[in-house]
Chain A
Amino acid sequence: MAVLAGGLSHEREVSLRSGRRLAAALRESGVDVREWDVDSSLVTQLRTDPPDAVVIALHGGEGENGSVQAVLELLDVPFVGTAAQACRRAWDKPTAKAELAGAGLDTPDWVALPHSTFRALGAQAVLDAMVDRLGLPLMLKPDQGGSALGAQVVTDRSEMPAAMVSCLAYSDTVLAERFVRGTEVAVTVVNDGPELRALPAVEIDARGGVYDYTARYTPGTVAFHCPARLDDATQARLAETALAAHRLLGLRDVSRMDAVVDEEGRVQVLEVNVSPGITETSLLPMAVRAAGMDLGRLYSALVERAIARSRFT
């Protein structure tokens, strides 16, 4: 089987690390694995030497927005993870948030606007309206993409223009979100058996800082607690919310919900990832370990399911 990693997204480096880690874990479980850096030879390779199944360890861009998934579906190659159409929905943060909010899940109030709107309507007036509605501090992030690339906490109105310019360098549309104080958590959902299940929540303690790119990928800068230091009722609500979000967005096999448990104890969903990071500092492997499971065995089970699934369709 093949692990797809790398590619040309901004998250290439993270993806290569995820791919290496995942491939090693699968090999330890006795699976014969190839690692493929995705480039223009992908389709030819898949046609001439098709693997039994593919695991997508791509982050950002084509690997998460459904493009690679659509190509795999086109070629009838079984793969672990969410189908193309649902990927597209989950990948676009404003779309996913609207679906979650529509179904009654809490997600921080937000507005997503493309550059053209600011240009057409006057930037300052729109920025003022955003701040008036969402308050300060607020989060600015590209509407697509992960690893917190381009994400910023804006604490003062005067910082908005510069933050917008930085954010728009990643994507043409910016998602502004109310900043929620509370306990930052990530909940992994897996479907490796008859029942979809949520793994223990990982609590992210950024120690007063922001869980930004540097904090995510510099080992030791952030403390993690798994299970999260939250009461049983909250833990149960987190699990229910993650399962509900997974089902609602039509996700498959594995996902990770990032959320904040706010000061009132509500679970505020920030986003749901179809291709969670699997690096040495990533949250999914921590949850897997805390659940007493093995990463390689988990993914080999998911691979078996993907192959079985393809036989029935």
Chain B
Amino acid sequence: MPQPATPPPPFDATPAGAGAAAAAAGASRPAVERFAARTAGMTASEIRALFAVASRPEVVSLAGGMPNLAALPLDELAAEVADLVAREGQVALQYGSAQGVPALREQICEVMALEGIRADPDDVVVTVGSQMALDLVTRIYCDPGDVVLAEGPSYVGALGSFAAYQARVVHVAMDEHGLVPDLLREALRSLAAEGITPKFLYTIPNFHNPAGVTLAVERRTEILEICASYGVAVVEDNPYGLLGFSGRTYPALRSFSRDVVYLGSFSKTFASGLRVGWALVPPAVRDRLVLAAESATLCPPSFTQMLVSRYLSAHDWRAQIKTYTEAYRERRDAMLDALATYLPEGCTWNVPDGGFYVWLTVPEGVDTKAMLPRAVTARVAYASGTGFYADGFGSRQLRLSYCYPPPERITEGVRRLAGVLEAELDVLRTFGSPARPAVGSGPQAPSPHTP
């Protein structure tokens, strides 16, 4: 039956959760005006809407950086979880130390030793994924307006953290050997001329996200020396370091200097859903970091830490990493083959020697962000390049992830992408290569689809 139309008093409202209350009070002030300025970028976006489609199985998503967990021994892990609850449930399900479970911190030091790091477990702070470590480090270093140096392009989640604390990102370009020392020097010199000392250099030296390149070993100490000479801290983010395809492990920046703030993670080498990462920090930073962590979460989850700890002590985790790496190498090869086979002329890309990503440059005039709807219609998704820059660059680039889909899906995805590029180039031939603004509105809030 129809309802009687008995209108209540008119309302002026924003339809947020408190819309009804606002209406009752006759308030017309949008909720957005009550938000802090640092949330300005945290809005709905067309790009995020399109990624909702990318999660469907019909779409080949080359966008997300989800690790391939297919190779994990789930039965053994299930038994481990059951045993953990049965034997140590009273501890695992209880609050724990803000700094993290001591046994795990010792094991983390063993993991880091593979990359030449000698560390004291007391200097390790376990966090809810290394993303949290990054957030906390930014929180304790950056006031609004402070400058952070980062490679251009850089990890979208880092840019999101920097934006959330209103830090200004200055990008330093890379070449095929990673961050270019001369360009770093130049950036620091020109900032110094303005009286600006950046708070830190944020760098991903190994199998970079999104650029796929690795910082040459001979540049590592040089980068540290340059930063030290300008009084700039170094934050080394190294989630992919153990995922090299040539069997080579590179010495961490932290292995050359104890002043480096090092961020590590079990997300890529074990299981991303457990959200266990860490920061290894100089003693002077540690106490502040622990207090910041405490205010954020009280303590990292005891349960997941203890599970990781058991996994590291009872399982051959090195063999598991080798299994992962072999799978990623196979996928990388499938992607490189498909790129060479299908992509139109004018595309260039790097050949990653580890990690998850290929960074693709498309022909002049193509804007990869504007092209994304066409790609989604064609059932393929990628991460457009501008998200990896804080200053609007990257419109000609996109990131392709080969970590998750099986090789035949990767081939199919690249084939679809090639068709999308051809269609976009066809439109560009009609309209010319329209001039687009060189700078954009900066990074959007990090998306779970672009870890």
Q: Chain B contacts of A219 at CB under 8 A? A: 14-17, 31-32
A291 shortest CB reach to chain B, Å? 5
> Restricting to A176-195, which residues have a CB under 8 Å from any CB of B?
192-194
Q: Chain B contacts of A118 at CB under 8 A? A: 430-431
Could you say which of A12, A158, A162, A281 contacts B49, with CB atoms under 8 Å apart?
A12
Q: Does B87 contact A (CB under 8 A)?
A: no
Q: Does A276 contact B (CB under 8 A)?
A: no
Q: Is the CB of B434 within 8 A of A297?
A: no
* Cα–Cα distance between A207 and B13 once the two chains are bound (Å): 13
Q: Chain B contacts of A123 at CB under 8 A? A: 430-432
* Cα–Cα distance between A161 and B370 once the two chains are bound (Å): 13
Q: Chain B contacts of A193 at CB under 8 A? A: 1-2
Give 1 or 0 for each of A215-250: 1 = CB within 8 Å of chain B CB. Answer: 011111111111100000000000000000000000
Give 1 or 0 for each of A39-67: 1 = CB within 8 Å of chain B CB. Answer: 11000000000000000000000000000
Decide yes or no: A14 and B49 within 8 Å by CB, A123-B431, A165-B427, A221-B43 being known contacts: yes
Q: Does A280 contact B (CB under 8 A)?
A: yes
Q: Is the CB of B3 within 8 A of A294?
A: yes
Could you say which of B12, B16, B53 contacts A9, with CB atoms under 8 Å apart?
B53
Give 1 or 0 for each of B410-442: 1 = CB within 8 Å of chain A CB. Answer: 000000000000001011111110111000000
Q: Chain B contacts of A218 at CB under 8 A? A: 32, 43-44
> Restricting to B377-434, which residues have a CB under 8 Å from any CB of A?
377, 379, 424, 426-432, 434
Give 1 or 0 for each of A190-210: 1 = CB within 8 Å of chain B CB. Answer: 001110010110000001000
* Cα–Cα distance between A298 and B28 once the two chains are bound (Å): 27
Decide yes or no: A169 and B5 within 8 Å by CB, A11-B49, A12-B56 being known contacts: no
Q: Does A134 contact B (CB under 8 A)?
A: no
Q: Chain A contacts of B13 at CB under 8 A? A: 223-224, 226, 286
A92 shortest CB reach to chain B, Å? 17
Q: Chain B contacts of A9 at CB under 8 A? A: 53
* Cα–Cα distance between A218 and B31 once the two chains are bound (Å): 10
Q: Does A13 contact B (CB under 8 A)?
A: yes
Decide yes or no: A281 and B15 within 8 Å by CB, A13-B52, A149-B373, A227-B10 being known contacts: yes
Q: Does B4 contact A (CB under 8 A)?
A: yes
* Cα–Cα distance between A13 and B44 once the two chains are bound (Å): 11
Q: Does A33 contact B (CB under 8 A)?
A: no
Q: Is the CB of A225 within 8 A of B373?
A: no
Tell me how many residues of A have a C-beta within 8 Å of chain B. Answer: 61
* Cα–Cα distance between A285 and B49 once the two chains are bound (Å): 21
Give 1 or 0 for each of A79-95: 1 = CB within 8 Å of chain B CB. Answer: 00000000000000000
Q: With a 10 A CB-CB cut-off, give which of B35, B43, B44 has the most chain A CB atoms.
A: B44
Give 1 or 0 for each of B9-32: 1 = CB within 8 Å of chain A CB. Answer: 011111111000000000010111
Q: Does B45 contact A (CB under 8 A)?
A: yes
Q: Is the CB of A10 within 8 A of B50?
A: yes
Q: Is the CB of B14 within 8 A of A8?
A: no
Q: Chain B contacts of A213 at CB under 8 A? A: 44-46, 49
Q: With a 10 A CB-CB cut-off, give which of A193, A194, A220 has the most chain B CB atoms.
A: A220
Q: Is the CB of B370 within 8 A of A221?
A: no
Q: Does B374 contact A (CB under 8 A)?
A: yes
B134 shortest CB reach to chain A, Å? 25
Decide yes or no: A220 and B16 within 8 Å by CB, A10-B50, A168-B427, A214-B45 being known contacts: yes
* Cα–Cα distance between A16 and B52 once the two chains are bound (Å): 10
* Cα–Cα distance between A197 and B367 once the two chains are bound (Å): 46
Q: Chain A contacts of B377 at CB under 8 A? A: 10, 170
Decide yes or no: A165 and B14 within 8 Å by CB, A10-B373, A220-B31 being known contacts: no
* Cα–Cα distance between A140 and B135 once the two chains are bound (Å): 40
* Cα–Cα distance between A8 and B50 once the two chains are bound (Å): 10
A278 shortest CB reach to chain B, Å? 12
Q: Does B371 contact A (CB under 8 A)?
A: yes
Q: Chain A contacts of B44 at CB under 8 A? A: 213-214, 216-218
Q: Is the CB of B1 within 8 A of A214?
A: no
Beyond contacts A213-B44, A220-B33: 14 other A-B pairs, Cβ-Cβ < 8 A, are: A8-B56, A8-B58, A115-B427, A115-B430, A161-B431, A162-B367, A164-B431, A199-B5, A218-B32, A220-B35, A224-B12, A225-B28, A292-B7, A298-B3
| Sampled A-B contacts (15; CB under 8 Å) | A13-B49, A39-B56, A118-B431, A169-B371, A169-B373, A169-B424, A193-B2, A213-B49, A217-B44, A217-B49, A222-B14, A280-B17, A286-B13, A292-B3, A301-B1
Chain A interface residues toward B at CB < 8 A: 8-14, 16, 39-40, 115, 118-119, 123, 147, 149-150, 158, 161-162, 164-166, 168-170, 192-194, 197, 199-200, 207, 213-214, 216-227, 280-282, 285-286, 289-294, 297-298, 301
| Top 4 closest pairs, chain A to chain B, by CB | A193-B2, A220-B31, A13-B52, A162-B434
